[in-house]
Chain A
Amino acid sequence: MSQNPTSRDTPDEQVTNDVLEVEDLTKVYPDGTVAVDDIGFAVSPGDFCVIIGPSGCGKSTTLHSLIGTVEPTDGTVRLSGNDITHAPTYERDIGLVFQDFQLFPHRTVRENVAYGLERIETDEDEAEERIDNALDLMDIRSLADRDPTELSAGQKQRVALARSIVLEPELLLLDEPLGDLDYKLQKKMERELLRIHRELDITFIYVTHDQTQAMRLADQLVVMNDGKIEQSASVNDVYNNPATGFVATFVGDSNTFFGTVTEILDGGERARVETAFGSLTASTANLYSDPHEVVGQRMALSVRPHYVTLDADAENTLDCSVESVIHQQGSGTQLVLNAAADGQTAEFQLKSHDILDFDADTATVGWSAEHTTLLERNSVVDGVDLEEDILGE
C-alpha cells in the first residue's frame, strides 16, 4: 500500500484526462505563514468536487490559487492540461460564485447575466439564446427585468449562478455560496445545485466548512487540515474508510477511542483491540501497514453512530449509562451515552433512522467488527490531538 494517504485510492499511474490538476502547490505568505503546504489533487471532468476543512485549513488559499488571485509560492495548476499557474484571472476558463453574490445594482437580472457575454463580444443572437437558457435553467426567466435589489437572497444566488453558467466555463468555483441563507432555503439550493450540475457539463469545485453540505453535494471530497490534504476520495471512502483520525472525526459523526492491537484474527482480516472499555474486534481493511506489523501498537478506532444499535449480541458491545435520549421527528432517535471503565469515561453516541421506543437509564449497545475502523494515523499533520480536534473549531 502507498504511504501517501492522499493517493491511497488512486492508482499511481493513470491517463490524465483530469480537468484540473494541482501539483506540489505551496503558498507562503510574506509573514512566513504556510497557508498551503505542498498539496496535490486532481478532479475528473464533470465531477462535483468539494474542498472541506476547518477555518484556516488553507481551502480559501487553494481556491484563490485556482482563480489566480493568489500567486503560489511553488507548484503547478493545470486546467485541461494547460499550465495556468501564472495566467491572469481573466484568461482562465473558470466561473466564480461567491457568498455575497456580487451582482450589479441598477442593471436588470438579464443585464447582469449578459455582462460576461458582452465582454467577450458574443454574437447577439447566440448571446440572447444563451442568456435565455441560463435563466431557464435557474428558473428565473420571470425575474429577467427586475433589479437585483428587489430580489430575495435565494433569487440573487440564482442570478449569480446564471451569470457564471452563461459563460459555459470548464470549471465553476463556488466559495461557500449558501453560507448566509436560511436553513430551509439552503437545503433547497443544495438540491438545485445538484440538479444544475446534473444538467450541465461543467466541473464544480465547491468550498465549504459545512460537512453535511459537503457530504450531500460531493462526488469527490478533498479534506484539508492545516495546509495539507488529509484525504481526497469519494464520499463513500471518506465516510467508511477514513484515511486518518482527523478525517474520521471531522467528516461525519463518529465515536472515537483508543486501544492497543493485541492479536490478528481470520487470516489478517480482523484485529483484536484492547481498550479501557473492553476487548473489541476491528476490521483491518483500513490499515496502511501489514496487520501483523501493528500488533502491540496503540491507535485510535472509530465507529459511526449510525452503525451502532441496541443489539447486545453484536460482535462488539459496550455497557453505557444514558445521558440523553433525543427523539427527532423525521430523523430518528439519537442516544447520548456514557461508557465508564477504570475511572475513565467516554461519550458514545447511537443514531437510529427510526424513532426508538427507549427510555431506560442504561443500555448495552453493539456494532460489527466491519464497522469498527482502525485509524493508524491521527493526521497527515504532526502533533494532532484528536480530542482537541473533535470540536473542529
Chain B
Amino acid sequence: MADASIVVDSLSKSFANETVLRDINFTVADGDLCVVVGPSGCGKSTLLQCLAGLVEYDRGHIELDGRSDDTLTVAERDLGYVFQEFEDALFPHMTVAENIAFGLRQQDVDYDEDEIDAKIDEMLDLLSIPETKDNVPDELSGGQQQRVELARQLVRDCDIMLLDDPLADLDYKLQKRMELEIRSIHADLESTFLYVTHNQDQALKLADKLVVMNNGMVEQVGTPAEVYQSPETAFVGRFVGDSNAFEGTVTATEGDTVSLDTPLGDVRASVASGTVSTGDASLFQFRPNAVRRVDEGSADNSFAAQLIDQTYTGEETELTFRHHGSEAVVQAVTPRRSSLEVGDDVTIGWDASDTVFFPTLSVTDTTTVTDLQEI
C-alpha cells in the first residue's frame, strides 16, 4: 500500500465501558478527498482525534504517509487539523495575519518575513477574506473566523489535512460557496483530505471516497456512486440519500430479483449483498427520484395512489402520495413543477432495479427496522 496516505487497520477504542470505535478498517489514497459520514455519536470525531494523536486508541494500527503512528508525536505527524469549534482555536489577541503566521512559524522551515507575508496574502485571497488581514478574531463574523482557521491550517501545506465538519456552523450561502472552495483548494494543494461530517449531502458532493459509519463501526467504504447506487446494508441505503423504506417478506426468488409481500402489496426488488431465501423478512427501499407516474403495469411495481401534498422548491417538486388500500405514504420528486394537483388519483410506479431488498440491516447487531425507518 505504498500509495496509501492514510491506513487505519483494526482500530478499536473504548471510553469507560462504552465502545466508541470497533474494528475500523480503511485506507485513503494519496491526494484523495475522503469523507467520513455518519450520524451524531457514530465515532467519526473520535476517529479523527486518534489520527491526530490527541486520543489514544486501545487496539489496531495507524499509518500516515507510510510512517507507523506509534513512533510519532502529535507535532511529528505534521497534520493540518480544522475543528468545527473554530472560536476556541484562534488566538483572540492576534490579528488574522498573525494567527496565520503562527502556523507557519511553528514549522521547521525558515521563512523570511516577506515570504510569510506573501503566503498570508495568497491564503486570504483564496478564501476571499483579504480585508480581514489586520482585524482580531472578535471583529469577524463566524463565517470569516472559520475561514481564518482554514487559512491557518492550509497555509502550512501539510500532506494530510483533517477537517472536522468545518462548514457546519455557516449560513447556507456561505456553506455552498465554501464547499466549492474546499474542492478547488484540495485540487490545488494535492494533499490528502480526511473530512468528517454528518451532512450526507455535503459528503456526496465533496468525496472521492466515502466511509459510512454507524455506532462505532464502518458500514461501507466506496465511491459516492458505489455507496449511493449499491448500498450494502439498509443503514447505508437509508442514511446516504433520500429513500422510501418499508418491510417486506420474500415470497419468491428468481435470479437477482425477489418478490416481496409488503404493506403496498406485491413488490419486485433487486437484492443488496447477502443471500436470501423465501420467508426472509427485512427492509426494502426505493429512492423518491425513481418514482414516476406510469400507466398501470408499465413499471415493475405500480400502485394506485392519491397525491396528498406537494411542495415546489424552485429546482424541483416534492410529492407525497398515499397508497390506496393502505395508509402507506410514498415520497416522490420530479424536476421543476409537477402538473398534478393535490387530491388527484394516479398510478405511480418504479422498477425492480431501483428497489433494493436488504438481507443485512446493518453491520452493527443493535440496529433495528424501527431505527432505520426513523432515519
Contacts and interface: CB of A to CB of B under 8 A. Distances in A.
A329 B314 contact: no
A217 B309 CA distance: 11
Given A215-B314, A235-B314, A329-B228, A183 B173 contact: no
Interface string A205-237: 000011110011100000000000000000110
A282 to B, nearest CB: 19
A101 interface: no
A55 interface: yes
Point out which of B184, B204, B314, B331 has the most chain A C-beta atoms below 10 A from its C-beta: B314
Nearest to B141: A393
Contact of B225 (A54, A198, A209, A329): A329
A253 B141 CA distance: 22
Contacts, number: 106
B15 interface: no
Interface string B285-314: 001010000000000000000001101111
A210 B184 CA distance: 24
B102 to A, nearest CB: 25
Name the residue among A217, A329, A331, A392 with the largest chain B CB count within 10 angstroms.
A329
A216 to B, nearest CB: 5
Interface in A317-342: 323-324, 326-331, 336
Interface in B199-216: 199-202, 204-205
A306 B315 contact: yes
Contacts of A253: 176
A324 to B, nearest CB: 6
Contacts of A390: 173
A198 B314 contact: no
B171 A328 contact: no
A331 B315 CA distance: 11
A392 B336 CA distance: 25
Interface in A237-260: 239-240, 250, 252-253
A187 interface: yes
B172 A211 contact: yes
Nearest to A252: B314
Contact of A328 (B176, B199, B224, B318): B224
Interface of B: 39-40, 128, 141, 143-144, 171-174, 176-177, 180, 183-184, 198-202, 204-205, 224-225, 227-229, 239, 241-242, 287, 289, 308-309, 311-316, 318, 320, 331, 335-337, 374-375
7 contacts: A182-B40, A195-B320, A210-B172, A328-B201, A330-B289, A391-B128, A393-B174
Q: Which 9 A-B pairs have the closest CB atoms?
A: A329-B228, A239-B314, A392-B173, A183-B199, A215-B313, A330-B241, A353-B335, A182-B198, A252-B314
Given A184-B375, A353-B289, A393-B141, 5 more contacts: A216-B318, A330-B289, A331-B204, A331-B205, A392-B174
Interface of A: 54-55, 182-184, 187-188, 191, 194-195, 198, 209-212, 215-217, 235-236, 239-240, 250, 252-253, 304, 306, 323-324, 326-331, 336, 351, 353, 390-393
